[in-house]
Amino acid sequence: MESVRLVEDWPVDTAATAVVTADGGVVGSHGDTARKFRLASVSKPLTAYAALIAVEEGVVELDTPAGPEGSTVRHLLAHTSGLAFDAHKAMAEPGTRRLYSNAGFEELADALAEHSGIPFAQYQAEALFAPLGMTNTTLDGSPAADIVSTVDDLAAFAAELQAPKLLDPATVAEATNVVFPGLSGVLPGFGHQKPNDWGLGFEIRDHKSPHWTGANSSPRTFGHFGQSGTFLWVDPDAGAACVALTDRAFGPWAAEVWPRYTDAVLAELSA
């Protein structure tokens, strides 16, 4: 793919990217795809997936109480627990607002560790990273933001999201469709949005504007971006996913070049 070369023009020191089709094939890549990058909040889909594995294994249920009073695993995954962004303090009743929360994902991991009897980092490594061959991916700190990985490893995860082997496809479908619809909230870096649609650990593109994906991304597109200058999206209508990792913090530069890049990738895929 020629479009992947667009990352050469990004105002970053280092970038790597890959495009993965629904059959798991990497149809385009550029940069050092084996280099390790900080994922920042792209950690969240990986943490969510481990949580969904735990649900299917019977460790917890989506309606298991977790987080502040009245909150469940489902609320924590969908950013509707009411917890503040970075503080373990309730700011709203569960299910009433979409409050994007790092603290919520930390309390989710704590709940999984409590119910499984296994430290979350170990559970995630054994249940998710090892089966997918993600040998260069590690959690070192907050499960909301402190995973380190490579484009190669995230390409394996992108393939799993499109053709699940570790989860029932119905579980992935539930996680990548809107949960608690109609709630408004703030999309970090892009402002207040109504509705601010999320699934279980995955942001849903829907009709949000502005957005970090492309103007031509389908409403069913889901994924996440990170403040370390990283993103992963899956567009089911296009039958493809894209990973891009950089070494520059998210800012106006990313809001400008990421959508343009995504549209170029989608155009080449459909040509």
Predicted confidence (pLDDT) at residue 189 exceeds the cutoff of 90 = no
Of the pLDDT bands very low, low, confident and very high (cuts 50, 70, 90), residue 222 is: very high
pLDDT classification of 48: cutoffs 50, 70, 90: very high
- How many Å from the N-terminal Cα to the C-terminal Cα in the chain? 11
Sign for the pseudo-dihedral over CA of 170, 172, 174, 176: negative
Q: What is the topology classification, in CATH, of domain 3-270? A: Beta-lactamase (3.40.710)
Using the predicted structure, report yes or no on whether residue 186 has a pLDDT greater than 90. no
What pLDDT was estimated at residue 235? 98
pLDDT of residue 191: 87
Asked if pLDDT for residue 199 goes beyond 90, the answer is yes
Per-residue pLDDT of 82-102, as tens digits, reads 999 999 999 999 999 999 999
Contacts of 199 (CB under 8 A, 6+ apart): 78, 174, 175, 176, 177, 178, 179, 222
Average pLDDT taken over every residue of the chain? 97
Give the pLDDT band (50/70/90) at residue 111.
very high
Report the share of the chain in percent with pLDDT over 90. Answer: 96
CA angle 114, 117, 118 (to 5 degrees): 105
* Residue 187: per-residue pLDDT: 86
Enumerate the domain spans of the chain.
Answer: 3-270
Does 188 score more than 90 pLDDT? no
- Report the C-alpha gap between 95 and 78 in whole angstroms: 9
Residue 122, C-beta contacts closer than 8 angstroms, at least 6 positions apart? none
Q: What is the pLDDT of residues 134-178, one digit of tens each?
A: 999 999 999 999 999 999 999 999 999 999 999 999 999 999 999
